[in-house]
Chains A and B, each alone.
Chain A
Amino acid sequence: MNIFQIISEIEKVDPEVYDRLDSRRSIFKHMSGMGKTLAAAAVPMAFGAVLNKAYAQTSMAPGVNDVLNFALKLEYLEAAFYNQGLGAMGATATAVQTALRAGFSATNLAALEKIRNDETAHVAFLRTALGTNAIDAPAANTFDFTGGKGGTPGPFATVFTAPATFLAVAQALEDTGVRAYKGGAPYLASNKDVLTAALNIHSVEARHASRIRTMRRAGAMNNAASQTAAAGTDRSASPKSWVSGNDGGGPAPAQTAPVYAMGAAPAYTPAVITFPGEENVTQGGVNLQTALSSLNFPAAAFSEAFDEALPVPVVSDIARTFVITGSTFI
């Protein structure tokens, strides 16, 4: 089987085939790895999978409803997280929830309940905006916040029993939400009211993320917002209230690094839109750290001053950390 001849044949009917394949370099990397380990007979099947994936995902840019429904999925995820951990608004807390709640100071618990209520309100807002196009809430067992995908409890096994783990997952979810809304915004530009509403949710997610980070820095039982992280401290364990560099990969680097890393742009992305990692210091083509070196600001300031967007496929991958195997929800 001559793969390159096949690509060449495809090119006759689809001149953009190289672009489609090239935009998924990770798949090619994956394939070259397979070439070494798989029997030759398996290669055609693998190649077919590559083409399926390339063509399936290079369809059209998402429409307004697609973006809103994707946002709704994330809000379902976030709301479920706080509801499962703390108990839903107005509900009587279970024994496990009561124990977790006791691990936070009253002030911090009130902050988490406020965040929970906001996420529930975001779900309601998006459902109203989408009307009959809104996707339904997933079944309660769709999510596994331990990261175990429904099997053996995963890396966040203590998510609903240890306050520190709960806050670690909360930070990852909120920071992901901030990047996701940023990534979706350009596709809402055709509807100004919806775009503004999405931006108004986006900044609330950022307020949440900041509050959670402040809480992680000071500790679940400490109310002091003025608790600072010492210079040189590991930002994954003791974050600033804003994202500094890539925060050492976030609260649990093995799982959360993608929340702060660059994202591969889907093929439909306009060339002017990119998805650098949070450590990025180049904006509008200007390396600000270099151009503004005379200010003598710390290097981290140049990344902290700008948050970065993430595209839908990367956000989906991150969200799937908390979705059970076999679910097609996200």
Chain B
Amino acid sequence: MDTKSTSLSRLFSARPVLRRTFFRVAGATAASSALVLAGCDKEDETPEVTPEQAFTLGTGDTGLLNYVYLLEQLEAAFYDKVVATPPADMPSTELAYFTDIRDHEVIHREFFKFALGTSAIGTAVFNFSSFTLTTRAGVLAAAQTLEDLGVAAYNGAGKLFTDPVYLGIAGKIASVEARHAALVRDLVQPNSFATADVVVNDGSALDGLDAAKTPAQVIAVVNTFLNITISAASLPA
């Protein structure tokens, strides 16, 4: 018990520092209610990850909205970076597409910020060093990864929302992400818009269907672009 209290007090004392790194100051109050440090909600379990670094996104529909908000933050940050400093070998026609897509992703991000209001998580800082953003090929490969991730994330999140309005919103955005994905894929490799790595084509009953990923699967990928660790444990599954 002593160990537990020590551990908890350590967690809570660590929190303000972390909030400053991950959240805007204005969002600090909201952050304390929307975010719970992993391990605090279940007293008997030792957190699997270093407690100081684990954040959750909230529960229920609010948690899911923060989840897709985080995903849109990731996509918007990526395209913002590409449009601001495009690779030298990217033709202007393709940059025009990327500017369109950047606009869409920023609008998605800002929409969820509106929808979440005071429950919104703060602004995350992403690290894209695993991508090669100095070449057209590197940018296209990165965009393909993120767009396919987005499609699979919305497809997987749809059934988890309890409010039909949010299911509707997920659908409205999912198809736009899929349209992006198809174009980006065709820029990478002609006719890869629906190849077997995304749309099942193995002679099974699921032929012709896109992928769906759980929040845990998607967050695991998102975490690779973050200097902190987000936990999907509080989200519906």
Contact = CB atoms under 8 A, between A and B. Distances in A.
Interface of A: 107, 110-111, 114-115, 117-122, 124-125, 128, 178, 181-182, 185-186, 189, 192, 195-197, 199-211, 213-214, 223, 225-228, 240-243, 270, 272-273, 283-284, 286, 288, 291-292, 295, 297-298, 301-302, 304-309
Given A114-B191, A284-B165, A306-B176, A240 B199 contact: no
B186 A211 contact: yes
B107 interface: yes
Contacts of B159: 189, 192, 195-196, 199
Prevailing SS type, chain A contact patch: helix
Contacts of A205: 175
Interface string B108-140: 101100110000000000000000000000000
Given A201-B210, A243-B179, 16 more contacts: A111-B191, A118-B194, A121-B207, A125-B205, A196-B212, A199-B155, A200-B155, A202-B155, A204-B199, A204-B210, A206-B182, A207-B178, A207-B182, A210-B193, A288-B110, A305-B103
B115 A284 contact: yes
A197 B209 contact: yes
Nearest to A213: B179
Contacts of A292: 107, 110
Given A118-B194, A214-B183, A286-B114, A309 B208 contact: no
Contacts of A272: 164-165
Interface in B192-211: 193-194, 199, 201, 205-211
B153 to A, nearest CB: 11
B97 interface: yes
A135 B164 CA distance: 28
B100 interface: yes
B186 A206 contact: no
B174 A270 contact: no
B167 A186 contact: yes
Contact of A196 (B156, B169, B179, B186): B156
Contact of A309 (B103, B110, B168, B190): B168
Given A110-B191, A207-B194, A228-B93, A297 B167 contact: no
Contacts of B186: 211, 214, 225
A297 B94 contact: no
Contacts of A284: 111, 114-115, 165, 169
Interface in B38-92: 91
Nearest to B156: A196
5 contacts: A107-B190, A178-B175, A204-B210, A211-B193, A306-B172
A101 B212 CA distance: 34
Contact of B194 (A114, A225, A228, A306): A114
With a 10 A CB-CB cut-off, give which of A125, A181, A207 has the most chain B CB atoms.
A207
Contact of B107 (A181, A192, A240, A288): A288
Given A117-B208, A297-B103, A209 B111 contact: no
Contact of A307 (B176, B190, B191, B210): B176
Contact of B174 (A189, A202, A208, A213): A202
B93 A207 contact: no
A223 B171 CA distance: 30
A228 B208 CA distance: 28
A297 B106 contact: yes
A185 B171 CA distance: 8
